Amino acid sequence: MSQAALSTVAYLPLGKREQTKAQNRQAILDAAREVFGEIGYETATVRDIIRRAGLAAGTFYNYYRSKEEVFAALADDGARRFAPILKGLRGHGHSFETFVQMAIAAYFGFLADEHNNWVARRPAGEPHLHVQGETPEMAAVFAEVRDALQDAIANREGPAADPDFMAAACIAIAREIGDKMLERRPIDTEGAAAFAVAMILNGLRGMPKAPA
């Protein structure tokens, strides 16, 4: 970004400046989603994202330092929007097993819809990447799963095992099966969900039971 452009941004009213930042950040994420979908994450470069976004290179680096940071931001954005879905499912008084079935089906449906222009069209066989570390949004998803397990334990519907470990295991199973689901054509959300639910529920049934 030129010095003149920087000066212009600096003197924008605060509300307008924040709006411009949000628009630029969203433009970068939208461009990255398209680029990753068309040519694959491994092949894509920051330059490809900048070109697609139609922004100056300096503008890109005001928000992200690398394509890895952009990828993390995309994952973070998805987690932020999925957490309320989980919360909504927990608020209807379903049994624990019904909650697991509905949560997994919702997650795989969310993945398929979210990645329609990205993962679903990426080069076949490209490994699906995980974000290293945990963001607040991802922590919120983990907390919803852990809280559901804690409720099940309290209601004697679930095993008396460590809820943090169980939540981590459930999320890991869902993520790995979800990744494999997205590599296949056609994407079979129902089949993937049924398999994941069976793995999770049967695994939990093998844990020590809460005392009567």
In this model, does residue 127 exceed pLDDT 80? no
Contact 28, 64 (CB under 8 A): yes
Which numeric CATH code is attached to 3-65? 1.10.10.60
Percent of the chain residues past pLDDT 70, beyond the cut: 81
Q: Where in the chain is the domain with CATH 1.10.10.60?
A: 3-65
165 band by pLDDT with thresholds 50, 70 and 90: very high
Answering whether pTM is above 0.85, one says no
Which residues in the chain are classed under CATH 1.10.357.10?
68-205
Q: Which residue has the higher pLDDT, 29 or 13?
A: 29
Q: Is 12 left (phi over 0), alpha (psi -120 to 50) or beta?
A: beta
What pLDDT score does 197 carry? 96
Place of tokens 């920051």: 46
CA dihedral 188, 98, 92, 170 (to 10 degrees): -70
For domain 68-205, the question of CATH label 1.10.357.10 is answered with yes
Spatial separation of the C-alpha atoms in residues 144 and 45, rounded to whole Å: 35
Given a cut of 90, is residue 96 above it in pLDDT? no
Average pLDDT over every residue of 169-195: 91
| H-type alpha helices, 40-135 | 46-53, 57-63, 67-90, 96-114
Distance, in Å, from the CA atom of 199 to the CA atom of 187, rounded to the nearest integer, reads: 19
Which residue type is seen at 78? Answer: G
Q: Give the span between the Cα atoms of 34 and 121, in whole angstroms.
A: 9
Supply the Cα-derived Rg of the chain in whole angstroms: 20
CA 130 to each of CA 76, 100, 143, 154, 198: distance values in angstroms, whole numbers, following the listed order:
11, 23, 19, 33, 24
Per-residue pLDDT band at 13 (split at 50, 70, 90): low
Alpha carbon distance 99, 148 (integer Å): 8
pLDDT digits (tens, 9 = 90+) for 40-85: 788 899 999 999 999 999 999 999 999 999 988 888 888 888 888 8
| Per-residue pLDDT, 182 | 81
Cα separation, 34 vs 40, whole angstroms:
9
